[in-house]
Each structure stands twice: as structure tokens, then as C-alpha cells.
A = this chain, B = another copy of it.
Amino acid sequence: MRTERLAYLGDRYTHTYAAALKFAAKTDELVGYHTIFQSINAALGGECDYAVAPIENSCGGSVTDTLDALRAYPLFIRKETVIHVPQHLIGVAGADKNSIRTIYSHPQALAQCDGYIRAEFPDVEVIAVSSTAEALSLARDPSKAAIARTPSEGQHIIENEVEDVKNNSTRFVLLGKEPADGGDKCSVVFETPNKPGALTEALSLFGEHGLNMTKIESRPHKSELGRYVFFVDFECAGQSPDALLRELASRATELKFLGKYSCI
């Protein structure tokens, strides 16, 4: 079996690394990048075979960088996985809740702990950085803390699971340059013409074909306000999505099938 290279965000202390371990075969190589964009670029440019990216969190919602990349680039969803993403408050020796003046984390992690930070640290400076790995690297004196998954060397957990909603979970996807064609779940992104009823008609197709939509998310078309593309996830156990996709394509001004894949 060929060794494949999986690009991911951060280093071995990040949530994305934990997800990458689930996707990777034993012989695969995991390659950390500084941002989601850089890891996706590595898969696009051939430096890696796949990219592992967060796509949705139970509290923060969609990871829009990943959705936008799926529409913009020739990438497809190969697999998905859901992992528990506890967010801990982490600092170096001597750091405690009273010594902290600055908290660093990824914007999604900060959003997941927003209520906690407001209640416990109303006067602390909160700085969004590109990954939880970077946040850990900045928490190097007792006045600074990171919100992240795992303490790195010389650090400890100051407070456990500080996310506002417990059982904090994130869905990660494995992205590759070829569409997958197995599994029970499908994803598609499309735009409907800007005329009354067009969106309703397109969405009603899922019901007509007996396919259960599990998620719908709009993102800006990025041309003008009020123009959107729609990401729909639907279940397709034992059923081909082809007939639906043909009809949807005939009603859509833009359509990209993102794959039929399995959850591991």
C-alpha cells in the first residue's frame, strides 16, 4: 500500500490532528500546516494527497473557510468523521485564573467558549489566532492562556472543558481531488436562479425523490448581497442520487456534486 500524505491544520496538539489520525492508515504520513487554507492548498497542489478539515461544530456552526473552498476548488469529500472536541484552558507553570491577562485560540474555539470567557474573564484580552497550536505556542508566561485540546510541553490544564455546551463535537472531512462514490451520505452545492419560488422548487426535489435533507446551509455567492449558493447534505442509503442530481442541475444555475461518502 502506497504511503499517502494527509495535510492538516496545526501540529499534534490540535483537534484536526486527532481527526487526521482517524482517517489515516498506519503507513500514511501526516503533514501539519499553519492555516486551513494552506492545508487545502497542499492537497490541491499535489504536495499532499488529501487534506483534513473541520467543516462543522455543534456550537459554532459551519466552518465557512472549508465550505467556501469546497465550492471554489476542484476538491471533493472522501469521508467524514465526528470527534469530541473538549476545549481546555491551558497555561504554563504558575498560570492560574487570576494571572491571566490574555487568552488565545482559534476563532471557532473562542466562539464555543464565548459565554465562559465573558463570565469568567470579562476584562481579559481575547485574541483569535490561526490554530489552537499557535495559541499554545503563545501561552508562554503566566499572564497568557490558550484554549485548546491538549497541553504542549511545560503546560497544564488550568480548567477542564470550558466550552459552553458540553459534548462539544466537530465534523471533519477528508478532502481529495476525486469524488467518492460509496457510503450513505451525499453533499451538493448549487445556486438557483434569482426568481420567486426557485429555491423552494429546488429543495422540494429532495422530498420528491424520497431523499432526506439533513443539513442546508447558505453561503454568499460573493458577487452581490442577496445572491447565495446552498450546501445540502442528504441521506442516500441504498439509493443512487443520480436522478435527483440531473433534475437539480436542470433547475440550478451552478451545481457541484461533492461526493457520496461514508462516516467513519
Hey, which chain B residues are within 8 Å of A218, CB to CB?
Answer: 61-62, 215-218
Binds B, one of A11-19, A42-50, A221-229, A254-262: A221-229
Decide if A197 is an interface residue (CB 8 Å cutoff). yes
- Contact of A220 with B107 in the complex, beta carbons under 8 Å: no
Do A225 and B127 contact each other (CB < 8 Å), given the known contacts A200-B203, A200-B213?
no
Decide if A158 is an interface residue (CB 8 Å cutoff). no
Nearest chain B CB to A196 CB, angstrom units: 4
Hey, which chain B residues are within 8 Å of A59, CB to CB?
Answer: 220, 222
Interface residue ranges of A201-215 to B (CB < 8 Å):
201, 203-204, 206-207, 212-215
CA distance A207 to B56 in the complex (A): 29
Decide if A219 is an interface residue (CB 8 Å cutoff). yes
- Contact of A58 with B220 in the complex, beta carbons under 8 Å: yes
Do A197 and B201 contact each other (CB < 8 Å), given the known contacts A82-B225, A165-B223, A218-B215?
no
Q: Which residues of A contact B (CB under 8 A)?
A: 37, 56-62, 64, 82, 107, 111, 118, 127-129, 164-165, 167, 169-171, 196-197, 199-201, 203-204, 206-207, 212-220, 222-226, 228, 230, 235
